[in-house]
Amino acid sequence: MNTRTLALIAVSIATLIYGINYTIAKEVMPLYVKPFGFILIRVFGATAIFWLVSLFIKPEKIDKADFKKIFIAAIFGIALNMLAFFKGLSLTTPISASVMMVMSPIMVLIFSSILIRKAIGKQRILGVFIGLIGAILLITYGNTANGTHANNNFGNLLVFINAASYGLYLVLAKDLSKKYHPITFIKWFYLFGLILVIPFGYQEITAVIWQQIPTKIYWNIGFVVIFTTCITYLFNLYGLSKLKPTTVSVFIYLQPVIATIYALIVGSDTLNLMKVSATIFIFLGVYLVTKQVEKAPKTIKTSSF
């Protein structure tokens, strides 16, 4: 089995975990643990695990200039990404959140054009606009049947910010993922992320009443820390080191399928016409963007970070 196939399998498994995570994390928030407190648990747990694992690999020195790049990647890949996602998920529904995440490939294209001067053709520009129309529909009307319409709209907007942040992270982390061993990169990546999220999550984590949390919710928290955080980041990082950022981001559009099936099975969400319509717009936009990206000629990288 070649490395590209292994990378595709790794990213596929990560996508499956992410799809299930929408409902699993939603069961925890905000009833038992508030969003920012949950993020602090998630990042602290992952940081501890990655630094422990790093003890069993050969030490690798990080170039001083790269610490700044890792810190910037942590801002968008952990702090803004996770805080916006969990806060948004606590306000909206699993299906709406998973559909909004499909915007990531479009955001990758936009940031790639800015940071590495990747050309944008007419078809990709059309795809961006169609995808954005779908995102606006979902943000504005995606939960009209729900009594907390305003909160859902804000939640969808936060998940969109999360998708944009994740798209930027994929572009920023590309070179770093090739330069260093995955564990070496990710242990510093999460350490910086932990420093960034402590101010946001400290108050909420101290308010948690641990003895009132059911065993099932502890399992949910463990799933998010170990699988959604550690396994997915490692698998995505491996995939990112072998595949293009746009290829990795394309797997995100499988998340709504997995998230919708799982959410409907367990009864945590429902479908409505606007969600379906917005999904069609977003998927069409992503299709146009990624189809054109694969056909585009190679470009020369002129800047980074």
pLDDT tens-digit profile, the chain (305 residues):
788 888 888 888 988 898 888 889 888 988 899 999 999 999 999 999 999 999 998 888 999 999 999 999 999 999 998 899 888 888 887 777 777 776 666 777 777 777 666 666 777 777 777 877 777 776 666 554 444 455 677 888 888 888 888 878 878 887 887 888 888 998 999 999 999 999 999 999 999 999 999 999 999 999 999 998 888 878 887 887 787 766 776 676 677 777 777 777 877 677 777 778 877 887 777 677 666 444 444 443 333 33
pTM score over 0.75: no
Residue 41's Cβ-side half-sphere holds a number of Cα atoms within 13 Å equal to 26
Contact call for residues 238 and 10 (beta carbons, < 8 A): yes
How much of the chain is in helix, strand and coil states, percent to nearest 5?
80, 0, 20
Distance of CA 121 to the CA centre of its chain: 26
Helices and strands, counts by H and E, the chain: 14, 0
Q: Which residues contact 33 (CB under 8 A, 6 or more apart)?
A: 41, 204, 205, 208, 213, 221
Residue 304's pLDDT is what? Answer: 33
Please state, in angstroms and rounded to a whole number, the distance separating the CA atoms of residues 103 and 286: 7
Angle between helices 3-28 and 232-242 (to 10 degrees): 150
Distance of CA 280 to the CA centre of its chain: 21
Residue 291's pLDDT is what? Answer: 65
Please state, in angstroms and rounded to a whole number, the distance separating the CA atoms of residues 90 and 152: 9
